[in-house]
Amino acid sequence: MKFKILIIVLILSFVNINSLFSQKNYSEKADIAFDAGQFYKAVDLYKYSYAKAKGKEQKAEIVFKTALCYRLINNSKQAEIWFKKAIKKGYPSPLATLYFADAKKLNGKYDEAVEQYEKYKNYVPDDKRADLGITSCTEAKQWIEHPTRYKVNQVYYFNSKQSDFCPAFGKNDFKVIFFTSSREGATGNKINDVTGQYYTDIFRSRVDRKGKWSEPVPLGKGVNSEYDEGAISLNLKANNLYYTSFRENKEGKLGCQIYFSKKQGVEWSKGEIIPIAADSITVGHPAISEDELILYFVSDMKGGQGGKDIWKITRESITQSWGKAENLSSEINTSGNEMFPYIHKDGTLYFSSDGHSGMGGLDIFEATPTPDGKWKIENLKSPINSSYDDFGIVFEGDIERGYFSTNRRGGKGSDDVYQFYLPPIEFNIEGVVKNEKSEDIIAGADINLIGSDGTNEMKKSEANGSFSFKLNPNTDYRVITKKGGFLNGKGKETTKGLTENKTFKLDVFMSPDDSRIVLPNILYDLGKWDLRPESLVSLEKLVEILNDNPNITIEIGSHTDFRGGADYNMELSAKRAKSVVDFLVTYGIDQDRLTSKGYGESMPKTIDKKEARKYSFLEEGDILNEFFINQLPNNEQKEICHQINRRTDFGVTGRDYIPKIKKRRY
């Protein structure tokens, strides 16, 4: 049942809807019930009058009105069925197609809904509701496919087979919950012709030391009346209650206003109306600010954006009177309905709306104040929002946890209270330590995880070379691996700026310190030994290796192909090796750790596993000497081998170098 719309008397919005239809004697009683907002009662009357109606037009009109009743009591399943019937009966208004599309959207049939919105757009091109519906369906599908990290669960201990909605915390330790319900035990104990359920009352539940919630009990008659009580809000101390209530006005007609009650011992004082607007104007859904100087509410009073808007009144102090009502803003309020405001203690406004792009009926939105005095509006998306009505959210203080109301399927009643929470973001890093040269796994390596937040964890790689760590948010990490016979390996990752769970994959390669390691992309012009700029990246990598392994000394070797004279190649390679050493010294590497040697063409390259995988005509273990290259079938393959032979590498010559202590200059 659409109690949330009932509570702000949407009845008043539809009193004039029968101006669309000619009054007929055959449905007079049904029309009277409809005009009075007694939609539940009107459904049966329309179905009865349908059997006695004559003519296609009359029957189509009755079917459409029946569909409207189901729409207004929020039975989207029946609304879809009956709007489809109205269209088949030839009901002339394009609204039948629009409402048919809305019903399909509420039932989560987004693709079918888009088809109907497109049809309605052809009928009424200038109506923005068609474009909004299409956009909503498109976004809803994306949000369902990629939900947020929030987790949502039904709260069985609050819910009944009737409507239970609009929770509010009744104590600052969050161990008391107030909510509105149409369950048995209400003060009036009468059936509401609008909804077919009992009139709603405000109920309360407490949690004991074992974490078990008590059976909900209604507040006293000072607050609850024989008619409907609705959305509520409490101050920080939970001793002042602001709530929505239907009461008879001086003319004996039901009016919806906001009332105030103060806690006196264990009971609540008799509710007093807060004078916001005339009796004839609907006012409800209070949300009190933390200092109780701003009261947000919902109304359809003049001066709004259309439908139900969120308004506010303010006062200078708690003892002073409330000021004039102000419409909140055009960023928040739309031509649709904005309802159920809630002010978080950080100043964020939460509300429900069917006028912004959403997933179905009412969606919950977050409005954040901007420096220029405006609001940034965001849909909370799935799973908090659904294709049904989602509304009445409340947070447990600063924690990303709380409750909200929804009539989504799978609940216990027509409206139910659900809990939501945001689990902590989880980051992990997993990897394998491998031999750089052979790609074999390395078991038993020491792995050190170092974080910018002070993290410093140690473990060894498993028998299969694997390792894993849990990571913290907003942190830069380094992974350093060590094992005898290998140069230290390292990798890095960061969790900074990440808002979703993530598992990093990081394989760390360690080079054997008894083999020569090729430095890629060390380039020279033909016949010259000056390093080209492209060599900088590779040489900076070598600087890192030397800094990460401060106790090793190395020999830089340079190699040529066998083309050209042997003596010339030897001299050229020696000069090229020395140019690398000179570069490393300029980067702060101690000269004592470095030697250089030119090998000319005397050490042809032996193909390793990586190179064999890269070049299909080579196999692991091939030696690229003059005989091997000359027997290759084409010049392209020969040139590749010459290029592989022209390389700069290094080998470890010692492992016990003691770094010099650099004197600080003053």
Question: pLDDT digits over 533-546, tens only?
Answer: 888 888 998 999 99
| Residue 197 or 403, more confident | 403
DSSP state at residue 603: S
Nearest to 587 by CA among 551, 656, 537, 646: 537
CB atoms within 10 A of CB 538: 17
Averaged pLDDT for residues 392-412: 92
**Is it true that domain 517-654 has CATH number 3.30.70.3420?**
no
pLDDT band, residue 1 (cuts 50/70/90): very low
Q: What is the mean pLDDT of the chain?
A: 89
pLDDT for position 25 = 52
Q: Which two tokens stand for residue 519?
A: 């430095």
User: Does the pLDDT of residue 564 top 70, yes or no?
Assistant: yes
Please give the full DSSP string across 140-155, using - where no structure is assigned.
HHHHHHS--S-EEEE-
8 Å CB contact between 353 and 363? yes
The per-type count for the chain, helices as H runs and strands as E runs, is 14, 33
Averaged pLDDT for residues 366-372: 92
pLDDT for position 306 = 83
Round to whole Å and give the CA distance between 394 and 349. 11
| Residue 381 or 659, more confident | 381
Round to whole Å and give the CA distance between 509 and 529. 30
User: Does the pLDDT of residue 10 top 60, yes or no?
Assistant: no
* Domain 427-510, CATH: 2.60.40.1120
3 state SS of 27: helix
User: Does the pLDDT of residue 666 top 70, yes or no?
Assistant: no
List, in order, residues 6 or more apart from 647 with CB less than 8 Å away.
518, 519, 522, 558, 559, 605
Round to whole Å and give the CA distance between 540 and 584. 8
Round to whole Å and give the CA distance between 308 and 339. 7
DSSP state at residue 207: B
User: 300-304, 314-318, 365-369, 389-393 — which is least confidently predicted?
Assistant: 300-304
Burial class for 278, CB neighbours closer than 10 Å (0-12, 13-18, 19+): exposed
Q: Which two tokens stand for residue 605?
A: 């390259």
pLDDT band, residue 366 (cuts 50/70/90): very high
Question: pLDDT digits over 68-84, tens only?
Answer: 999 988 889 999 999 99
8 Å CB contact between 545 and 537? no
User: 4-18, 341-355, 475-489, 588-602 — which is least confidently predicted?
Assistant: 4-18
pLDDT for position 665 = 52
Count of alpha carbons within 13 angstroms of residue 79, beta-carbon side:
25
User: 12-26, 96-110, 415-429 — which is least confidently predicted?
Assistant: 12-26
| Residue 38 or 327, more confident | 327
pLDDT band, residue 412 (cuts 50/70/90): confident
Question: φ, ψ for residue 324 (rounded to 5)?
Answer: -75, 145
Span between the terminal Cα atoms of the chain, in Å: 80
Among 237-251, 269-283, 480-494, name the most confident range: 480-494
Please give the full DSSP string across 53-91, using - where no structure is assigned.
--SHHHHHHHHHHHHHHHHHTT-HHHHHHHHHHHHHTT-
8 Å CB contact between 255 and 246? yes
DSSP state at residue 524: B
Alpha helix segments (H runs only) across 487-527: none
The domain locations on the chain are 151-266+283-421, 427-510, 517-654
Round to whole Å and give the CA distance between 176 and 214. 10
Nearest to 508 by CA among 494, 490, 492, 493: 490
pLDDT for position 188 = 66
Percent of all residues in the chain with a pLDDT value above 70, rounded to a whole number: 94
Nearest to 174 by CA among 503, 493, 419: 419
| Residue 171 or 241, more confident | 241
pTM of the predicted model as reported, rounded to 2 decimal places: 0.74
| Residue 211 or 638, more confident | 638
Round to whole Å and give the CA distance between 443 and 463. 5
User: Does the pLDDT of residue 526 top 90, yes or no?
Assistant: no
Burial class for 260, CB neighbours closer than 10 Å (0-12, 13-18, 19+): middle
User: Does the pLDDT of residue 99 top 60, yes or no?
Assistant: yes
Q: What fold characterizes domain 151-266+283-421?
A: Neuraminidase (2.120.10)
8 Å CB contact between 292 and 312? no
User: Does the pLDDT of residue 120 top 70, yes or no?
Assistant: yes
Averaged pLDDT for residues 284-302: 94
* Three-state secondary structure string covering 534-594: HHHHHHHHHHHHHHHCCCCEEEEEEECCCCCCHHHHHHHHHHHHHHHHHHHHHCCCCHHHE
pLDDT for position 265 = 86
What are the C-alpha distances in Å from 443 to residues 435, 440, 466? 10, 10, 8
Question: φ, ψ for residue 77 (rounded to 5)?
Answer: -65, -50
Round to whole Å and give the CA distance between 133 and 344. 29
Burial class for 441, CB neighbours closer than 10 Å (0-12, 13-18, 19+): middle
Nearest to 311 by CA among 319, 324, 321: 324
CB atoms within 10 A of CB 32: 15
Q: At what angle do helices 566-586 and 536-548 cross, to 10 degrees?
A: 60
Task: Give the β-pairing of 427-435 and 508-510.
Answer: parallel
Averaged pLDDT for residues 625-649: 94
Task: Give the β-pairing of 151-154 and 416-421.
Answer: antiparallel
User: Does the pLDDT of residue 662 top 70, yes or no?
Assistant: no
3 state SS of 14: helix
pLDDT for position 365 = 98
What H or E segment, with its residue span, contains residue 504? strand 502-505
User: Does the pLDDT of residue 582 top 50, yes or no?
Assistant: yes
Averaged pLDDT for residues 460-469: 97
User: Does the pLDDT of residue 253 top 80, yes or no?
Assistant: no
User: Does the pLDDT of residue 7 top 70, yes or no?
Assistant: no
List, in order, residues 6 or more apart from 576 with CB less than 8 Å away.
524, 529, 558, 598, 648
Longest dimension (CA), the chain: 117
User: Does the pLDDT of residue 427 top 80, yes or no?
Assistant: yes
User: Does the pLDDT of residue 22 top 70, yes or no?
Assistant: no
Round to whole Å and give the CA distance between 225 and 240. 18
Burial class for 471, CB neighbours closer than 10 Å (0-12, 13-18, 19+): buried
pLDDT for position 524 = 78
Residue tagged 């074992």 (tokens)? 210
User: Does the pLDDT of residue 610 top 50, yes or no?
Assistant: yes
Question: pLDDT digits over 180-211, tens only?
Answer: 999 887 776 777 766 778 889 999 999 988 88
